[in-house]
């Protein structure tokens, strides 16, 4: 009696074994062995499964075949069917993360250099210094007298050389990468906006009078924006996709934003929080597609500079 050879082929599209009738038939009067064909990776997996349960087989990676003696064919088929059924969809496919387009080289050195030059003009923190009297964060002046411009002007002032150097070195790198990711205009617009909003939240949630200065609120807003952009950036929603970017941002906040004699932890935290919200908006609304819109980027950059300039003009009036 002539027995046909049944070939089982595992296809990733259907996740099942399918017989192939095109393969050669067994010899007359012989019980044919069980034959599998497929990719080298698939057959190697089959070989490992059969080896783990002690089923004798022959694997030829050159010909792309795996054979099992007829006496073990039923056991082999059962073990392989069970294995592929239990491991359907495993391993999980990598999460597809959309990498935002990057713009050209932003004028980071020019802007950071402007902060240094401005510090040479204003000098370090002093209660009698006119620049700090006019532009520093003063919770009473902002909340009771409506001097909102201080939320912006305070970002351009620094208490001492140590704070200035930290913001220029570490902050300069983060600002540069943010502007490469979002574009110069949108990058600086988000820094000024999130920095001012972070300063505002920092004073309205305090019970006592508060004074502060520094660009670090915007620096930690940049950290928050990067974290927000990466939250659930792929198609799959998972706890890991949510917590990993938050953990990275919180780690930077803890490492860089909690040390120092005059560190304003509240401003750093709320700057990070505002940036986080903005980054999530960038992700969900696909705002990063505006990176290549040079006309819009130029307008936003000029608007950001005007916001700082006008705030100082009003402060001196």
Are 211 and 136 a contacting pair, CB within 8 Å? yes
Average pLDDT over residues 304-315: 95
Considering the entire predicted model, what is its pTM? 0.64
Tell me how far apart the alpha carbons of residues 1 and 20 are, in angstroms, rounded to a whole number: 20
What tens digit of pLDDT does each residue of 255-304 get? 554 454 455 778 888 999 999 999 989 888 888 788 888 899 999 999 99
pLDDT at 40: 80
Domains of the chain: 7-86 (no CATH), 108-316 (1.20.1540)
pLDDT at 249: 53
Distances (CA, A) of 33 to 58, 63, 69, 70, 230: 10, 16, 5, 4, 52
Are 162 and 176 a contacting pair, CB within 8 Å? no
pLDDT at 248: 58
What tens digit of pLDDT does each residue of 160-193 get? 888 888 888 888 888 998 998 899 999 999 999 9
pLDDT at 232: 61
Tell me how far apart the alpha carbons of residues 289 and 278 are, in angstroms, rounded to a whole number: 15
Percent of the chain with pLDDT over 90: 29
Q: Which two tokens stand for residue 173?
A: 């790198």
Are 80 and 66 a contacting pair, CB within 8 Å? no
> 95 falls in which pLDDT band (50, 70, 90)?
very low
pLDDT at 227: 86
pLDDT at 7: 43
Residue 12 has pLDDT above 60, yes or no: no
What tens digit of pLDDT does each residue of 231-246 get? 766 554 555 555 555 5
In the predicted model, what is the mean pLDDT of the chain?
A: 78
Residue 61 has pLDDT above 90, yes or no: no
What tens digit of pLDDT does each residue of 103-138 get? 567 888 899 999 999 999 999 888 788 999 999 999
Q: Going by C-beta distance under 8 Å and a sequence separation of 6 or more, which residues neighbour residue 36?
A: 7, 8, 9, 10, 43, 46, 65, 66, 67, 68
pLDDT at 119: 93
Residue 222 has pLDDT above 50, yes or no: yes
Burial (CB count within 10 angstroms: exposed 0-12, middle 13-18, buried 19+), residue 2: exposed
Q: Going by C-beta distance under 8 Å and a sequence separation of 6 or more, which residues neighbour residue 40?
A: 61, 64
Residue 195 has pLDDT above 90, yes or no: yes
Helices (DSSP H) in the chain: which residue ranges? 40-52, 73-86, 108-122, 130-135, 139-145, 150-153, 161-182, 184-204, 216-230, 239-256, 265-284, 294-316
Residue 252 has pLDDT above 70, yes or no: no
Residue 54 has pLDDT above 50, yes or no: yes
Instruction: Give CA 46 to chain center in angstroms.
Output: 38
Q: Going by C-beta distance under 8 Å and a sequence separation of 6 or more, which residues neighbour residue 225?
A: 178, 182, 190, 194, 275, 276, 278, 279, 282
């Amino acid at each position: 009696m002539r027995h046909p050879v049944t070939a089982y082929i595992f296809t990733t599209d259907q996740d099942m074994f399918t017989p192939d009738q095109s393969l050669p038939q067994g010899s007359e009067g012989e019980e044919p062995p069980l034959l599998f064909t497929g990719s080298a990776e698939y057959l190697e997996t089959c070989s490992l499964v059969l080896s783990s349960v002690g089923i004798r087989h022959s694997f030829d990676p050159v010909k792309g075949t795996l054979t099992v003696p007829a006496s073990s064919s039923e056991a082999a088929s059962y073990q392989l069917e069970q294995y592929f059924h239990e491991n359907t969809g495993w391993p999980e496919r990598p999460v597809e993360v959309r990498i935002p387009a990057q713009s050209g080289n932003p004028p980071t050195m020019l802007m950071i250099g402007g902060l240094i030059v401005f510090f040479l003009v204003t000098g370090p923190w002093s209660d009698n210094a006119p620049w700090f009297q006019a532009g520093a964060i003063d919770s009473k002046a902002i909340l009771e007298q409506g001097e909102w411009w201080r939320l912006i002007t305070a970002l351009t002032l620094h208490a001492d050389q140590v704070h200035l150097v930290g913001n220029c070195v570490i902050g300069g790198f983060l600002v540069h990468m943010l502007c490469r990711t979002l574009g110069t205009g949108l990058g600086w617009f988000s820094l000024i906006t999130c920095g001012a909003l972070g300063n505002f939240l920092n004073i309205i949630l305090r019970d006592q009078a508060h004074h502060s200065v520094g660009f670090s609120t915007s620096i930690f807003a940049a950290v928050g924006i990067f974290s927000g952009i990466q939250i659930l950036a792929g198609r799959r929603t998972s706890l890991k996709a949510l917590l990993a970017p938050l953990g990275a941002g919180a780690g930077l906040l803890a490492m860089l934003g909690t040390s120092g004699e005059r560190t304003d932890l509240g401003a750093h935290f709320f700057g990070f929080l505002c940036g986080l919200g903005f980054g999530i908006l960038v992700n969900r609304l696909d705002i990063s597609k505006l990176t290549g819109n040079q006309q819009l980027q130029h307008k936003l950059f000029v608007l950001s500079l005007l916001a700082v300039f006008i705030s100082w003009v009003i402060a001196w009036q």
